[in-house]
Structure formats: structure tokens, C-alpha cells
A and B are shown apart, each in its own frame.
Chain A
Amino acid sequence: MAKLVEATHVTLGGEVGSSRTSTTSTRSMRWSS
């Protein structure tokens, strides 16, 4: 069966949805992977 994957940026404090968090995390991704 196909999968549902949830991908979430989360801070050390457990906060999600912060633009600072997602920007920092997005820019550090391994884009080649």
C-alpha cells in the first residue's frame, strides 16, 4: 500500500510553523538528496 508521510520543521522547543524555523531548516537541506 502507498504511504502517507508527514514532514515537519520543529524547533528545539517543539514549536512548529515558525517562519524562522522553516526558513533555517529549508536552507540547510541537502537539495541533492
Chain B
Amino acid sequence: MELLTRADGLLLGRSTYEGLSAAYTAMADEAPAGVPAEFIRRMNSIPKFVASTTLRELTWNATAIEGDVASFVDDLKRNSGQNLLKYGNGPLDVTLMEHELIDEFHLFLTPVAIGTGTHLFESIDTAPHLRLIDITRLDSGVVILVYAPT
């Protein structure tokens, strides 16, 4: 919740936008157990910026990024002073990491033994070095690891 509160906007890829917009729009009508209404309201109201080569007409307070994504994000950070929170993993990561635009990675390491499917940093072959800057252990067994590029 803290990350979401501190952010001025969400940065999303197309697939994540489509999934989250549908899910949180539905949650506005009926919140699932254990997810606070405040979180759902913030997810629905915060401005979103979506990197997509196909989507143009967006809902959910979202704007499609036109032109070069890296330049757009760099401008938001540098000139508009907007703190951005990015959810989801995919092709957008490659662009952002190639341009060294991600300042922190917050990994919510969850004690679930699944190894199939899409993997973190799957499309990244540049092997950037990261340093651990914070670690939080939750009673649930989730460990929050915060890394920053070196």
C-alpha cells in the first residue's frame, strides 16, 4: 500500500493493463476478502501510463504512451518529477532496463513452490548487477527484497 500511496502514477505494459483494469474495476463493485477498499480505490483512481503498440483508446484513468517509451518515462521522472510504480513483467522491462530507468526492484518473494511459467527477468540478458538495500520479513512468510542497480 505504501508503494502505491507514494506513487504519482502506474506504469504498465499492455497485458498487465488489461488484466489489472478488468480485475480492479470489478473489485470496485465487490471487494474480495482481505483486500482493503482503500487499496482498490487507489488502484482505480491513480493515473496510469500504458506502453502499447496497439491500444489507443484506454479507460481506467489510463493514457497510452505515444512514441518512444524510454524517453517518455525519462521525461516523467526528470522533468515532471513523477514517482512511478510499475507492476507486471514483460517486454517493457527490457526497454526500461536497457535504458537504466528502473531505480528499485521490490520483489515480494512468496513461499509458493511454482517454477513453471514466466520467470522474473526472463528476457533480460544484460545481467545488470543489483545491490540489496532493504529486506522485510512478513509473518506470512513473504519476504520483501528491495534491490537497486549498482
List the interface of chain A (C-beta within 8 A of B): 1-18, 20-21, 24-33
Interface string of B20-47 (1 = CB under 8 A from A): 0000000000000011101100000000
Contact (Cβ within 8 A) A3 B83 = yes
Contact (Cβ within 8 A) B3 A7 = yes
Q: How far is the CA of A29 from the CA of B128 in the complex (A)?
A: 28
**CB contact list, B66-119 vs A, under 8 A:** 73, 76-78, 80-89, 93, 96, 101-119
Top 7 A-B pairs, shortest CB-CB distance: A13-B115, A28-B140, A3-B103, A25-B110, A11-B114, A27-B34, A15-B117
Is B55 interfacial (CB 8 A cutoff)?
Answer: no
B62–chain A nearest beta-carbon distance, Å:
17
List the interface of chain B (C-beta within 8 A of A): 1-3, 7-8, 11, 34-36, 38-39, 73, 76-78, 80-89, 93, 96, 101-120, 138-142
* A to B CB contacts below 8 Å, 10 in the list: A4-B11, A4-B96, A5-B86, A6-B86, A16-B119, A17-B88, A25-B108, A25-B142, A26-B34, A28-B139
Closest to B116 in A: A15
Which B residues touch A1, using CB under 8 A? 77-78, 81
Q: Which of B3, B34, B39, B110 contacts A5 (CB 8 A)?
A: B3
Task: Known pairs A13-B113, A16-B118, A27-B35; list 9 more (Cβ under 8 Å).
Answer: A1-B78, A5-B84, A5-B103, A7-B108, A8-B106, A9-B108, A20-B114, A26-B35, A31-B1
A21–chain B nearest beta-carbon distance, Å:
5
B135–chain A nearest beta-carbon distance, Å:
14
Which A residues touch B93, using CB under 8 A? 6
